[in-house]
Copies of this chain bind each other. A is one copy, B any other.
């Protein structure tokens, strides 16, 4: 039943991620994400449709089939486990791992990924705070909110980042913030939407709206990582 090329897998994963955020996914959306052209996407949609991983009707739209979603979750699982490996075992920063995981996620061995999972201690979240699906595609849902939406006086811990850029990591490192760091909101300034926060490592300091938007937090203490 399965015999998908790396390219087909990348399309499936891209469509999956787009479906998570946007309600409808367009041909152009996929083309933009994959740096390709709409015509190429249409070609692929037809192939994925015949391969049963996609429901597609021309000019009407498309969405992953149940089977396609399973495939996508499997790729996401591999991607995030490899990212975890790279950061935890090979000492990469989380801004460096995405491109490498983009290749590693296509290694086909089923038993490899199960042993890797085991070797890593069955982590539930990747270095960016994103949940790692288990072998059945199930993943832990953390009730996350954006830092800008946290009320004054509340404390929560950083659970995910909204960007994987080196620039963000540099800033977070400088401010001693990482995934797991406890943050308390002290004050919000309406002029520039900057906010004053407090962490265990540092007394009160100010962060910009841009930075706050890139941070997601959970009220409960994080289960792992």
Interface residues of A (CB under 8 A from B): 86, 89-92, 96, 99-100, 103-104, 107-109, 111-112, 115-116, 119
Q: How far is the CB of A94 from chain B (nearest CB, A)?
A: 15
Q: Count this chain's copies in the assembly.
A: 2
Residue numbers in B under 8 Å from A111 (CB-CB): 96
Q: Which residue in B86, B107, B119 is a CB contact (below 8 Å) of A100?
A: B107
Residue of B nearest to A104 (CB): B107
Q: How far is the CB of A166 from chain B (nearest CB, A)?
A: 14
Could you tell me if A92 and B115 are in contact, using CB atoms closer than 8 angstroms? yes
Could you tell me if B112 and A90 are in contact, using CB atoms closer than 8 angstroms? yes
Closest 3 CB pairs of A and B: A90-B115, A100-B109, A103-B107
Residue numbers in B under 8 Å from A91 (CB-CB): 115
Q: How far is the CB of A106 from chain B (nearest CB, A)?
A: 8
Could you tell me if B103 and A86 are in contact, using CB atoms closer than 8 angstroms? no
Could you tell me if B86 and A112 are in contact, using CB atoms closer than 8 angstroms? yes
